[in-house]
Amino acid sequence: MIFPRQRMKPELLDHAPPGTEGVCNARGWITTEIFLTWFKKFIRFSGATRTNHVLLLLDGHVSHTQNLEVIDLARKNGVIILCFPPHCTHKMQPADNAFMRPLSTYYDHAVSAWLRSHPGRVVTVFQISEIFGNAYIQTATMSTAINAFRKCGIWPYNQNNFTDADFISAATTDYYRLI
């Protein structure tokens, strides 16, 4: 979890899902440094090696695509990074396609439940991990993951899952790359 703060406090992760780690950034957004730290943990968690390749699907965010340390680590550790075309993650990225909407819905329900059980209080950064944890546990199921990859045509692979019209918005950025 990335918190919009200068310094990390352990209590920010109270009641977070098991294994959750937290970092701080003044703006609360991913940076190349934060992504690099996450990527090192991903390599260990996934068991990626030069002989045991792992595929990592990413959007084209600058913290992923313009991060030479990540690219070098990926090559050294057998991680194959595949970035989705611009403006297509809503169709192709499993997390965007089938995970974020239910997570958002469950999160809204968890916030409402927390507010009902704590009358007169407001949700602060110190309650986020607990509330998020409740929503995440409901969302992060094997069936959600399977359905997300199926819906995107990634697994099982379905080359006819989309038409050219589904990716027409990417043509705009491709045009400007050619100029």
Residue 15 covered by a domain: no
Please tell me the predicted confidence (pLDDT) of residue 176: 55
- Residue 149 makes CB contacts below 8 A (sequence gap 6+) with 94, 155
**Could you tell me what percent of the chain has a pLDDT over 90?**
76
**Residue 11 maps to a domain:** no
| Domain hosting residue 142, numbered range | 86-179
Please check whether residue 77 lies inside any domain of the structure: no
Residue 159 lies in a domain: yes
Does residue 126 belong to any structural domain of this protein? Answer: yes
Average pLDDT over residues 146-160: 93
pLDDT, average across residues 135-143: 95
Does 163 reside within a domain?
A: yes
pLDDT at 142: 96
For residue 2, tell me if it sits in a domain. Answer: no
Q: How many domains in the chain?
A: 1
- Residue bearing the bigger pLDDT, 60 or 141: 141
Token pair 């439940």 is at which residue? 113
In a domain, 17, yes or no: no
What does the mean pLDDT of the chain come to? 91
pLDDT in tens, 102-132: 999 999 999 999 999 999 999 999 999 999 9
What average pLDDT does range 8-23 have in this prediction? 94
Residues 105 and 98: their CA atoms lie apart, in Å, by 12
Contact 119, 139 (CB under 8 A): no
The pLDDT value recorded for residue 117 is: 97
Nearest C-alpha neighbor of 99 from the set 30, 146, 133, 156:
146
